[in-house]
Amino acid sequence: MAHDDAGSSPVGEGRRSAFPVVPADAAGETGDTGDTGTAVTAARSPGRPAAVVAAAASGIVAAVFGTVLHGQVVHVGSTGLPVGAAAALVLAGSLFLLCGLWARSIIMSAVAGAVAYGAVALLSTSSKTLILTGTSDAAPGTALAGNLWLFGVLVVTLAAVVAGSILLRPARR
């Protein structure tokens, strides 16, 4: 068993490394040899079916939790601030970016965003929903939050795709 440097504390000794350790001759050009004579390879990306399922699941999770969260409005005086919509957009964008980085494909970020947008659109077809129309005079802050959530999903999807393309860009040598 190769020793991986888990710090100066002996607590990490004897634990299995989170990074797969392969012999140096099996690593080829992708391995990075350390002082132990072994090569550490990068973790493999998941298969395409697993990545698509994960993207769809993260899109549905973002849509459901974001829809529940976006209705939280903080009132400062007579003005309603849609803090829930902002939090829902941060949650959705984080899930989209995480999904794309995990799959090592910016397409999966876009798939997660498209699934989330479709789910939000389906959730908005309820006959009791006045949030999306912006016509609710009783709660203009809630109507603003609904519009921010609906159209913000597109914006954070694009932001996740752009951030993912920057982070997944090959390093220059």
Say if strands 79-81 and 21-23 run parallel, antiparallel, or are unpaired.
Answer: unpaired
Identify the pLDDT of residue 40.
45
> Is 115:59 a contact under the CB 8 Å cutoff?
yes
Look at residue 125 and tell me whether its pLDDT is greater than 60: yes
> Is 22:31 a contact under the CB 8 Å cutoff?
yes
In this predicted model, what pLDDT tens digit does every residue of 67-109 receive, in sequence order?
A: 888 877 777 887 778 888 899 999 999 999 999 888 888 999 9
pTM score over 0.95: no
Output the CA–CA distances (angstroms, integers) from residue 128 to 2, 85, 121, 172, in the order listed: 61, 19, 14, 54
Average pLDDT over residues 37-54: 68
Q: Among 119, 112, 110, which residue's Cα sits nearest to residue 158?
A: 110
Identify the pLDDT of residue 31.
47
Look at residue 113 and tell me whether its pLDDT is greater than 70: yes
Query: How many Å apart are CA 35 and CA 82, to the nearest integer?
Result: 53
Q: Which helix (H) or strand (E) holds 23?
A: strand 21-23
Q: How confident is the model at residue 150 (pLDDT cuts 50, 70, 90)?
A: confident
